[in-house]
Structures are given as structure tokens and as C-alpha cells.
Structure 1
Amino acid sequence: MGGHLTLGIDIGTTNVKAAILDTNTGKVVASGSQEHPLFHPFPGWAEQDASNYWGAVVSSIRQCLEQGRFADDIAAVALSGLVGVTLPVSDQGKPLRQAMIWMDSRSEEECEDIRRSVGEATINKNNGNRIAPWFIDPKALWIKKHEPHIFNATHKFLSPSGYCTYRMCGNFTMNTGDAGLAYAYEYREERWNESVARAIGIPLEKLPRLYQSHEVVGEVTRQAAEETGLRPGTIVAAGGTDISSAALGVGVTKAGEAYYSMGTGSNLGIMIPTEQNVEEYRILKWPHVLPGLTMFDGPMAFTGASLKWFRDQFGDAEFRLAERMGHNVFDLFTEQARRVPACSDGLLYLPYLGNTLSPNWNSNACGNFFGVRPTTTRAHFIRALIEGVAFDLYSNVRVANAAGVKVDGLILNGGPTKSRFWNQITASVVNLPLKTPDIGEAAPIGDAILAGVAAGIYKSPTDPLESIVRIKETIDPDPKLHERYRDFFEVWSSVYQNLRGDMDRHRALLNKYHSA
């Protein structure tokens, strides 16, 4: 199907975003977004309903199509999405249970099973990663142990983007980025490893066929066309992970380049050649949408979620004021934080509202404020939230540097990075310059570029970047503030280490009395 427009859709943890790219001009001509819910039925559990993914995708597409007569000129579509999600479906593509997402930490016992049956070293070598509940396999084994009827009925385990791609074109597929979160994926060879799958206990036939992110996987079906408003026969590309598509969308395409993407959670992504051997497993490795590049990626769980938690629990006054004045409610919070000096007069925040991912990987971690005094105000808590998230990023930067992976600066993307105040704190904490591109949500744009390659409009994903990505500002760190932040970072790190045993006991008590 001809046309000069492409459609990119990214399924985030709590929001789906879509964008239509005019490949003639390199400009986004329409965009849409739709929130979808997240459920925490028990402590440490995090689930989502696959039908909500698709419903939000449909809504975001229709919002785009309402902004002009675009459907006939859309040549191709590609989807990306959140990673580390285990969604079992039947041979008819029907979800058999709710998806267990990346922040679900119930499968610690299954992680131990994998360590015993396969070994951490084997997983490290084959997949490039550590064993942790964040990945697909431990959660799949939890289903096998606790819900065997569902495991036995499972035709394929899909990612959120894989499920919505199935709803779009009727084919079971997985892009290589999503596959990087499954231990059977041999990341240097870009293929499934049957012996590893067998040793783990997940039959290889339950894993979908693999595709490069720019490859064609099918066409929009008549049913999907009726639901979305797209034309039947529109090309569907494999797409990528939310993080790798965002990296493409902000122009991070070469080894040594790095980005920081912020949303509900956040990611530090540093590009390394796939053949480079980095013996560090506290930070993850998974494929970029560009073949030959691997993302040395540090995921962090509760970034924007920390300020959203504060907003939802303590922000009634700001909500009312924002509605009355037509302001962004988060701007009202950060304006209060400006009145507080760096390091929040000693108030420190551990941003672990359900667990902690890279580099600590502790499913029992919980959020903490340390250093409360009689003079501590509400504004102190807001600034400490922002600084605690930045400290979490800094801990990953230090691990990367110690592993020999150099980081000279970060390109930013995501909701919280729209706040210059937040960015200035981040720059001074990590002591790196931050570049803000003149671009909206990067992941849908990256997906739209991949769709353009699938449609034959672009020869490669990097071809159009010069006309799409422009840096509008560079925020440099304040060396004096960094010295202060570095001193308090040492205390921040020590607080976490000293509380680890208590966090374990705390989670055990929660589990004990929740089931009582």
C-alpha cells in the first residue's frame, strides 16, 4: 500500500502514545494518547489486562485519525511496548490470564529454580543478563507451578506489543528486543537457544517467531481496520521495545551514545557493540532496534511514579488549583521544591515503592524517607523525591563507569524531562551534560521510522534522523552542587544497604498478615 505517512504506537506502563509521521517533511502531523490501568492485587504483584492494552491502542489511533484525513496515506504501522512482561495466550490469541509485568516480583522462588537447573553463568553467557523476577521466564515458571492449567493451555507467551501486533495482523510474533527479556534468547546470535529453553522448562514452541524490528510481519486485517480506522492491508512492522524505539527516536544510534528515558519508571541506556563483552550483570543488556547494537540498560522502577504517588495521596490542593488556573499539576509541585536547597536539608528518599531494579535488584525493597526533622516541610519531601530518583540514576552511572562503559552525556526523553528544574537536578547529581531534543514522545516516532523502513520509504532506520531529531538545549551540571550531592549520595547508599535485612523481614510480615 502506497502513502507517505507512517504510524508509530508505544504501549507504556500506564499510557499508550501514538504518532503519525509525515516522511516527506520529517514532522509529526498527529498524535494521540490513552491511559490504561495497573493492578496490584497482592504485595509485590503487578498485573495488567491485555484487553486494556488493545483498547488504549485503538483509542490512541482513532485520536490521530480524527485530526485529518490520514488513513489512506498511512503506508505502515509499528508498535513498541513495555518489556519484561509475561502474557500467555491461546492458539486463538485469547489472553489466558492477566499479564505479569516487569515490576511484578512474586517469582523469586522460580529464580532460584533457574539458578539450580541452569545456572547463573549459563544465563549470563547466553542472554547477557542476570536472573531476576523482572524477566519473562521466572514469571512463566510461576504460572507453570501455581496455574498449571494455564501454562499447559498456553500457545505463545507474548509481550504487550506482540499481543497488539497480533490483534493488528493476526500473526504471533516477537521482535528481537522483546526476546532479549527471555533467557532462551541467544543475544549475540539473535536466535532462540533450544537447550537453554529445555533446561529452564519452557518449551521453545511456546515462544513466537523472531523478527528484526524493521521487518514486515503482516498486514492490518479487516477486523483490525474496523476497530482502529486504519485501512485493511496496511503493512505491519515488527516494532521494538519501548526503550529501544525511544533511543532511535532521539537519535541514539551509535556505540558510546547514551540516553535517559523517564516515565512511570526510567531507563539509562548506553549503546555498546553487540560483540563487546561486558562482565557486569547489575545493568541489563538487550538488543537495540538497530542490528549489531546492544543497549547496556539500567531500568529503574519508580521514577515519575514517585511524584505521581505523592500527587495522588497528598496533592488535593494542587489538583484544585491546577484545574482552576489551567496549569500542570506537576509544575505546581516543582515550584514548591525550588524553595528548598540542594540535598533537601538532609532529607533523603529511596524511590522503591514496590521493589528496586538496577543495580540492586531487590524484590523486597520499599520506599523510605530518611532525615526528617522538625524543620522538614512539604516542599522538602517534593524535592527529596526528585533527588532520590536522580540518586538512583547516579548509582547506575557509577556501575557502568566501573565496568568500563564510558558515558559522556545523556539525551533525554519522557514526561518528567520536560521539567527544566528536574533536569538541572539530574545533571548536577550525575555530573553529566543532558541534551533535550526538540521532539515529543520519542518511542512512537522511533516506531514510525521502523514502519517507514518496512514500507520501503527509508533504506535504514538512521536515514531520516537528521531531518527529525534536533537538540534544543544542553543542560550542564553544577560542579559545586555535584560535590554536595556526591557526599549525600554516600549516605543515601548506606541507608539502603543498612536497611536491606529489615526490608526482607518487613516483606515477610506483609505476606504473613496479608494471607491471615
Structure 2
Amino acid sequence: MAGHLTLGVDIGTTNVKASILDTQSGKIVAFGSQEHPLFHPHPGWAEQDADNYWSAVVSAIRQCLEQGNFAADIAGVALSGLVGVTLPVNDKGKPLRRAMIWMDSRSEEECSDIRATIGEGVINRNNGNRVAPWFIDPKALWIKKHEPHTFDATHKFLSPSGYCTFRLCGNFTMNMGDAGLAYAFEYQKERWNEQVADAIGIPIDKFPKLFHSHEQVGEVTQKAAEETGLRVGTIVAAGGTDISSAALGVGVTKAGEAFYSMGTGSNIGIMIPTEQTLDEFRILKWPHVLPGLTMFDAPMAFTGASLKWYRDHFGQSESRIADRMAGNVFDLFTEQARQIPPCSNGLMYLPYLGNSLAPNWNSNATGVFFGVQPTTGRETMIRALIEGVAFDLLSNFRIAESAGAQIDNLVLNGGPTKSRLWNQITANVVNRPLKVPDIGEAAPIGDAILAGVAAGIYDDPTAPLNQIVSIKETIDPDPEAHKRYAEFFEIWLSVYQNLKDDMDRHRDFLKRYGS
């Protein structure tokens, strides 16, 4: 007999997180997480092993199940995950190579081929997006050109959540959100467009069957039950993208609301009606987990990754202190940054440690500190890192508004948003109140809600939100700090534009000398 619990699992870029939701109380009763590796075999390449996704999913689920006698009462499970991932599998579901993830930028030539053969305008109209290596198709064409045996053997291209959903129920599926990152997906009609797929050169049958996020796609198999500890026959839902599931998890469900998710990378997702046409392609569009809503979404690659980079290479002393005190090393960093005034004494940071996503879409972009002076110290660099990430957000914020997107509310979620200083800097830079929900990891909560709909517990994904979501704090911007940031931001924009050509030359140099 199906119970009153549901399970949500989110596959992030470096970490899998799982939550068990008690649908009667609206409370999370168990949580688990497990890191998984990211590989950079060459400059601009970013790959992950699909079996590492599954191992981390299994670990996170088992951590949850070890916290109580839950398995028999879990009625449904749903997974979400990182998007823009190209993972080829054979007809048995076996991965044929490592997944090429969203930050992989090797397929620039394939992007040029798409523009030359089908035209970027056709992609814009059909899929609502630009042509860039971030998407599934250019990476698939790279495989077709450089690894033709792999392409020919590919039965389906799956997303990370689609692969792990297959491991759970044995069916090849794709939710609408993941499909939004494939150019053959006609986003305003929620269907595959065979003519576009053929023109690109990727047969339409290499894409899985489409499902809405709350729809049932199968049941947990005997093998999956043995691996995960879940009950055989537990309902499996289609799930969503990591950002759209997280938006549901914090209650962002209406046009005009916006969600800022911060993790290794970050996204500003603005809800627009699917029928609304916005002719702006520096910001992405893909379906929300709620039918009828589209996320006007700007991904940014190096948010938490910027501070992690600093930790790994310059933060050894803080790491040792945090280990001795059983504290959080990032709290030590932000406490240092708190001593520095807005605009970091003139130091600015371009957060492009490998490439730039929205709005620049520059695979040759590189990280930059500009304005170093004899007095520049560690604490100044840390604050500049945080401010640089906020400026990247502001650049997308302005473009979205100028395109006609309405932004009434901005809700935060993710690891860096646990820092009061980081949130205040963000509010000051964008000059908007930021709402911080009283909730943990939002994406697995959104997934758990979707699982509840598939299992018949909820009639609608929005039904339980009043019970689950509350706002614990609203952070108001400081007008004086914003005025200062607005002036500094114009210089920040100019620095990038002035260095853009030199970044191209720099990448060419690295390619020629094998660095």
C-alpha cells in the first residue's frame, strides 16, 4: 500500500542531494547528500561519469533511508538534475562515453556548422534559444564528428536525471525542462520537431519520449530496489531540471516571480507565460515544471566555484582553522570580506574561470582581477569575488528587464545564500529586496512534490506549497551602496569588453602551446 512519504533527488554539478517529504506534515524528515567528481581533461572540456551520478544518487537515497523506517511508506520518487548535458547511451542504457556537461565549451565549430546549415533564426523560433556549446546538440555533433562510432551506437541522448530515472525504472524518458536544452524541442508547443532535428543532423529517434514533470514514467524495478533500498513498485515521476524543481520548492510558481539559485554555478530564473515571445537570446528559455510557465533563465558558471577556487589554492590556513573548530571555512572567508567597503577598494573580479555563460556566451573568457594595488590583501580579493558574481547577475537582470520580462519578486536559495553578507551584497547590487525562504535544499523538495502528484497524493504541484514554504527574511538593499555599485558596475562591464579580444588571443596561445 502506497504511503504518505515522497522522495526527491537532485543531481547537481558536484553534489547529489535527496530529501524525504512527509506529505501529511509538510516537513522534511530525512536528508542525504553525496559528492561526485568533475573532470577537465583539456582546457574548455568538462565531463562526468554517468555511473558516478548513479552511485551518488544511491548513496544519498540510502542515507535518507538509514534515518528511519521510511522505504515502505514512500509512495513516489522524482529526480532533477543539471541541464545542458549530452550523455549517449546504448539500447541497454549503458553509457558510451563520459557525459559532456553544460560548462564544456569544445563544440564552437559545431555551433558554427549549425548556424551555417539551419540558421540561428530557425533555432531561435523553434527552441527559443541561441546557438552555443552550452546546449545538447553542438556537443552531440562534436561526438558525431570526432567519435562517429559512439554517435552511431547511441540509442538515446539522456540527461543526468534521465539516466538515473532509467536506472530506477528501466524506461528511457525526458522531462520537458531537460528537453528545452535540445534544439529539436519546440518549446511553445512542448514537442519534438523532426524537421529541425534532421536539419541539424541528429535523428529524432535518438531523443527519448517526452513527459511533463509530474507525470508517472514507471516504477522502481527489482534491481533498483536492491541497489537503493526503495520498495519495488514505488512510482517514479518524470522530474524536472534542477533550477525549475528548486523554483517549485521555494514557491516560485507565477509569472513575474524570479528565483536566484546559487551553487557551484548560479541561475536567475524569471517566470514568463509560455505563450509570451521574448526576442532576447542571451538569456535561455526552458519549461518550468509547471505546464504553461517558461523559465527565462540566465546561467552563470562560476558562482560558488569562485570561492571554492580561492579556498583550494589560497585558503589553506582558513581550512585548517575550520577543521580544528569544526566550522565552515566559507564563514571565515566572508567574515574577512565584511571588513572591506563596497567596491572592494577598487578591486574588481570577472568570474569567468574557464568560460562565460549568460549574457556573454564566450568560451574564451577567462577570470580577471583588475585594480590590484599595493594595499590589496586576501580579504579584498574575497570581497571582490563575491561582488564580481553579483555584477554578473546584474548584467543578466538588466537584459531581462529590457527584453520585457517582469520581475516582481526575487527569491533566493542555495549554498552561498546562507551567508548574510553575500545576500546583502547581492541585494545592494541589483537594488531589489531579496526573499530568503525558510527551507533547506529546494530542488529535492520540488522533486518530492512532483513525486506526490505522480503518486496521486496531490492534485496539483502548487497544492502543498502553503504548508511547506515560508519566508524567514527579506533583505532590503542599501540605496547608498547601490549608487556606488551602479557606477562601479559600468567600469566592470567596460573592463570585460576591452579585454574580450585579448581573451581570444590568450586562448589561442594556450591551445598552440598545450597549456
* TM-score calculated relative to the size of structure 2: 1.00
Amino acid aligned to 1:305: A
Counterpart Cα distance in 2 of 1:347 and 1:280: 31
Residue 406 of structure 1: how far off its partner (Å)? 2.2
Deviations 1:44-84 (A, max 9, x none): 00000001000000000000000000000000000000000
Name the SS for the 1:112 alignment partner: helix
Residue 410 of structure 1: how far off its partner (Å)? 1.0
RMSD value over aligned CA atoms? 0.6
> In structure 1, what is the equivalent of residue 455 of structure 2?
455
> In structure 1, what is the equivalent of residue 72 of structure 2?
72
> In structure 2, what is the equivalent of residue 7 of structure 1?
7
Amino acid aligned to 1:219: E
Structure 2 unaligned segments of length 5 or more: list them. none
Residue 409 of structure 1: how far off its partner (Å)? 3.3
Amino acid aligned to 1:453: V
> In structure 2, what is the equivalent of residue 47 of structure 1?
47
> In structure 1, what is the equivalent of residue 333 of structure 2?
333
Counterpart Cα distance in 1 of 2:337 and 2:410: 24
> In structure 2, what is the equivalent of residue 131 of structure 1?
131
Counterpart Cα distance in 2 of 1:270 and 1:409: 9
Amino acid aligned to 2:365: A
Residue correspondences, number:
515
Counterpart Cα distance in 2 of 1:4 and 1:492: 51
Residue 2 of structure 1: how far off its partner (Å)? 1.0
Counterpart Cα distance in 2 of 1:324 and 1:120: 54
Deviations 1:449-472 (A, max 9, x none): 000000000000000000000000
Counterpart Cα distance in 1 of 2:427 and 2:406: 16
> In structure 1, what is the equivalent of residue 234 of structure 2?
234
> In structure 2, what is the equivalent of residue 487 of structure 1?
487
Residue 178 of structure 1: how far off its partner (Å)? 0.1
Amino acid aligned to 1:427: A
Counterpart Cα distance in 2 of 1:407 and 1:343: 26
Counterpart Cα distance in 2 of 1:13 and 1:512: 30
Pairwise mapping of residues 55-134 of structure 1 onto structure 2 (< 5 A)?
55-134=55-134
Name the SS for the 2:167 alignment partner: helix
Counterpart Cα distance in 1 of 2:93 and 2:443: 25
Name the SS for the 1:514 alignment partner: coil
Amino acid aligned to 1:257: E
Name the SS for the 1:255 alignment partner: coil
Amino acid aligned to 1:493: L
Deviations 1:277-307 (A, max 9, x none): 1110000000000000000000000000000
> In structure 2, what is the equivalent of residue 162 of structure 1?
162
> In structure 2, what is the equivalent of residue 260 of structure 1?
260
Deviations 1:231-271 (A, max 9, x none): 11000000000000000000000000001000000000000
Name the SS for the 1:308 alignment partner: helix
Name the SS for the 1:168 alignment partner: helix
Counterpart Cα distance in 2 of 1:13 and 1:405: 28
Name the SS for the 2:416 alignment partner: helix
Residue 408 of structure 1: how far off its partner (Å)? 3.1
Pairwise mapping of residues 327-406 of structure 1 onto structure 2 (< 5 A)?
327-406=327-406
> In structure 2, what is the equivalent of residue 275 of structure 1?
275
* TM-score calculated relative to the size of structure 1: 0.99
2:171 maps to 1:171? yes
Counterpart Cα distance in 1 of 2:333 and 2:410: 25
Amino acid aligned to 2:204: L
- Conserved? CA contact 1:408–1:432, under 8 Å: no
Counterpart Cα distance in 2 of 1:253 and 1:7: 21
Name the SS for the 2:343 alignment partner: helix
- Conserved? CA contact 2:256–2:409, under 8 Å: no
> In structure 2, what is the equivalent of residue 514 of structure 1?
514
Name the SS for the 1:342 alignment partner: coil
Identical-pair percentage? 79
Counterpart Cα distance in 1 of 2:185 and 2:464: 30
- Conserved? CA contact 2:247–2:259, under 8 Å: yes
Residue 512 of structure 1: how far off its partner (Å)? 1.0
Counterpart Cα distance in 1 of 2:398 and 2:188: 25
Residue 326 of structure 1: how far off its partner (Å)? 1.5
Residue 404 of structure 1: how far off its partner (Å)? 1.5
Counterpart Cα distance in 1 of 2:95 and 2:186: 27
> In structure 1, what is the equivalent of residue 322 of structure 2?
322
Counterpart Cα distance in 1 of 2:93 and 2:185: 22
Residue 382 of structure 1: how far off its partner (Å)? 0.2
Counterpart Cα distance in 2 of 1:49 and 1:379: 36
> In structure 1, what is the equivalent of residue 425 of structure 2?
425
Runs of 4+ with >6 A deviation: none
Name the SS for the 1:141 alignment partner: helix
